[in-house]
Amino acid sequence: MRRPIIAGNWKMNKNIAETKALVSELIPLVKDAEAEVVICTPYTDLYTAVELTKGTNISVGAENVHWAESGAFTGEISASMLTEIGVKYVIIGHSERRQYFGETDETVNKRVIAALNAGLKVIVCVGETLEEKEAGKTEDVVTTQTIAAFKDVSSDKIDDIVVAYEPVWAIGTGRTATADDANATIKVIRDTLAKVFCPACSEKIRIQYGGSMNPKNAHDLMAQPEIDGGLIGGASLKAVDFSMVVKY
Ligand code: PEP
């Protein structure tokens, strides 16, 4: 009932020439995919990626967005600047933003509200650090982050919401959560969404797993009932690898 969604997170990789090469290679590889396909690129590649993917089954996303419409926010990009060039998705609250750029649950919530109001679809990242996992706090952390991210968000926006469960210790490390553990934590997130929105709403919201997902482990992860997709970092930088995850 929930259509799988596989999204690439390029992070701070690929210049315009590399974007043209990667997207051109990817288009034919994923054209028959059953899953929804999204690529999230650096700001400087967005326009090129949008132009190249017009008329294809690939949507383009940004990796962050500011909550203000305009103003004195040097270095920031607003939601309407993204929609103006045809961007459809935006990643919000990635652990690298939380870790290195002062992102908090409160600023995640402000970005989510601004993005949804502007007509963007959001991929909201939640997940525990290794320290939190070892202290047995995984459920508490994802529950708190989920509640905070969607504070004051109306349930009529649920079609535009994707959540990515990304255990921080699994990102870029080659360590993956077991399919069972990822499924169990995603169930906790879904139960939380049921309380934040409504039980029927939470059944409609797609929840991805992210953290060293690749062509080898994608099938097992995607076979889990609660896992509706993947947010893919490293493996999204090569067209063949990403297409294999898309077709898990
Ligand atoms: C990510 O950056 O969201 C991610 C999951 O990265 P990787 O796939 O490289 O672990």
Quote the pLDDT of residue 138.
98
Specify the residue with its C-alpha closest to ligand 1, atom 3: 233
Quote the pLDDT of residue 178.
94
Among 218, 136, 146, 226, which Cα is nearest to 187's? Answer: 226
CA–centroid distance, residue 182 to ligand 1 (Å): 14
Q: Which CATH code, of 3.20.20.70, 1.10.1040.50, 3.10.100.10, 3.40.50.150, is assigned to 5-247?
A: 3.20.20.70
pLDDT in tens, 195-237: 999 999 999 999 999 999 999 999 999 999 999 999 999 999 9
Q: pLDDT class for 1, splitting at 50, 70, 90?
A: confident
Q: pLDDT class for 49, splitting at 50, 70, 90?
A: very high
CA distance 100 to 19: 25
Enzyme catalytic residues: 94, 166
CA distance 89 to 209: 17
Pocket test for ligand 1, best of 11, 90, 103, 227 (most atoms within 8 A of CB): 11
Answer for the pair 90, 61: CB distance below 8 angstroms, yes or no.
yes
CB count in 10 Å sphere of residue 64? 21
Burial 233-244 (b: 16+ CB within 10 A, else e): bbbbbebebbbb
Closest ligand 1 atom number to CA of residue 166: 5
DSSP string across 34-66: SSEEEEE--HHHHHHHHHHHTTSSEEEEES--B
Q: What is the mean pLDDT of residues 34-60?
A: 98
Q: pLDDT class for 27, splitting at 50, 70, 90?
A: very high
CA angle centred on 210, ends 196 and 77, rounded to 5°: 75
Q: Name the token pair of 151.
A: 């504070």
**Predicted model pTM:** 0.98
Q: Name the token pair of 2.
A: 């929930």
Percent of all residues in the chain with a pLDDT value above 90, rounded to a whole number: 98
Q: What is the mean pLDDT of residues 11-27?
A: 98
Q: pLDDT class for 245, splitting at 50, 70, 90?
A: very high
Tell whether the model's pLDDT for residue 79 goes beyond 90: yes
CB count in 10 Å sphere of residue 204? 15
Q: State the DSSP H helix or E strand holding residue 8, giving kind and residue range, or none if neither.
A: strand 5-9
